[in-house]
Amino acid sequence: MYIPSPSYLNTGDNSWQLTAATFVGLQTVPGIALLYGGIVKKKWAINSAFMVVYAFAIVLITWVLFGYSMGFGSPLKLGPGILGDIVGVPHPILGSLYEQGRASVPLVKGMMPAFRIPGSTLVYFQFAFAAITPAILAGAVLGRINFKAWMLFVPLWSTLVYSVNAFMLWGGGWLAQLGAVDYSGGYVIHVGAGISGFVAAAVIGPRMVKDRKNFSPNNLLMALAGAGILWLGWNGFNGGDPYFANVDASAAVLNTNLATGAALVAWTMMDMWAQSKPSLAGAINGMICGLVAITPAAGYVNGYGALAIGVAAGFIPWLSMNKLGRTKLFRKVDDTLGVFHTHAVAGALGGILTGVFADPKMFEYLSKKAGRGLSVTGWIYGNPHQVIVQIEALLVIVLYDGLMTWGILKLVGLVVPLRASEWQMTEGDMAIHGETLEEGDREKEGDEEEERREPQILETY
């Protein structure tokens, strides 16, 4: 039976949006799962990957029940002024055909044209962003968080932190009304995850001493495979955010790869300068910093701006991790994979530099009827105020996310311990899940033991 498409639907836009959403989903499963599984100590590989997969699943459920409407729905009037522009009214979006009408959100977008995709496409695309954020946060607390605490923390954090961030910057909320921009999640996702991860690491406490001293990657090639999926999946991350298969989407994809390549090279150069040898693990960090830093700027800057952001993303987070990270405070807080540096610092850097390099000739949307569209003007093009509002938005995200994360962890801690037991931290995957990377070896050893015992059993008869 042929079902005609609604008149508003553009099949090209819809096809690209669904493809981009799948790319973003692949960044988490299997991308980050493989990255974490390979970059951590062997005894933590299964647990680290499992934390990512669980987050992906539970966020999808909370997202369709209330998370999406809180991030992109009608404003929930909590009070006068800004209190009415912080979060949307929570409600499920599971109606007929997932409320298949034209996608729309109350964005403060000036000349943004009406979407040409169904609502269900937008819901799934935005879910993939919501899912990757706690997966990034997990990198700060690997090696000691109680898995049961993680199971409670993720849906609470996604609801009370991520959805609020999304509404304030993307759903027409307070920060969007101030004029702050975040093209694809430098603040909403990366600063949010980085700051929250740092707070979580401080509240939960450090890993065991022997794990902090020796946490060598168990499989760097597997980590590289995950990082590679992350890099190319980012084409959907930034290329999908105009919500149209337009020229700006193409520019965002090119800018993303240019900045990432520049950051990887810059980080590698810093490693060679400091250690006289290039590091693959370091190159992965540089790659991630480039991806993160270009995210808030991808469709707002031209190629020169993307290159400048990429170079800065290779140098500044490197200095943060290798210099600031050695100070007393950062040695005390055990951020396992340095999520503060690779995500919070890189995301903040990219957000501020968006205010510097945003090119008014880079139109995210263009209205043929009006002859103009939505663009952002940065400092070097005559608008220093954009830097100010970008800094204001950054401070709001840092303060809100940090305090709310602390509160959520304290609440979860009343129900279950936040830290794994000493035995679980000693044994790792086997104690927590009854599974290990060495399953095949243990099965083989069991077969050999049976073979050794078999003659003895026969002799007894």
Domain hosting residue 165, numbered range:
11-442
pLDDT digits (tens, 9 = 90+) for 307-339: 999 999 999 999 999 999 889 888 899 999 999
215 domain residue, yes or no: yes
Helix (H) or strand (E) holding 373: strand 372-374
Angle between helices 303-322 and 346-357 (to 10 degrees): 150
Q: What is the pLDDT, as a whole number, of residue 113?
A: 77
- How is residue 360 written in tokens? 């008014």
Helix (H, G, I), strand (E, B) or coil at 266: helix
459 domain residue, yes or no: no
Please list the residues that pair with 373 across neighbouring strands: 366
457 domain residue, yes or no: no
* Torsion angles phi and psi, residue 184, rounded to 5: -145, 15
230 domain residue, yes or no: yes
Mean pLDDT, rounded, for 416-431 = 95
pLDDT band at 13 (very low <50, low <70, confident <90, very high): very high
455 domain residue, yes or no: no
Helix (H) or strand (E) holding 119: helix 119-138
Whole-number Å distance between alpha carbons of 11 and 359: 30
**Selected residue with higher pLDDT from 227 and 372:** 227
- How is residue 207 written in tokens? 């890993």
Q: What is the pLDDT, as a whole number, of residue 373?
A: 61
393 domain residue, yes or no: yes
Residue 309 sits in a domain whose CATH number is 1.10.3430.10
Single out the residue of 299, 287, 225 nearest to residue 262, CA to CA.
287
Q: What is the pLDDT, as a whole number, of residue 276?
A: 87
Omega of the bond prior to 317 within 30 degrees of 0, cis? no
pLDDT band at 451 (very low <50, low <70, confident <90, very high): very low
- Structural domain count of the chain: 1
Token pair 């759903």 is found at: 171
451 domain residue, yes or no: no
Helix (H, G, I), strand (E, B) or coil at 329: helix
DSSP state of 88: B
pLDDT digits (tens, 9 = 90+) for 20-45: 999 999 999 999 999 999 999 999 99
Q: What is the pLDDT, as a whole number, of residue 181?
A: 94
Q: What is the pLDDT, as a whole number, of residue 375?
A: 82
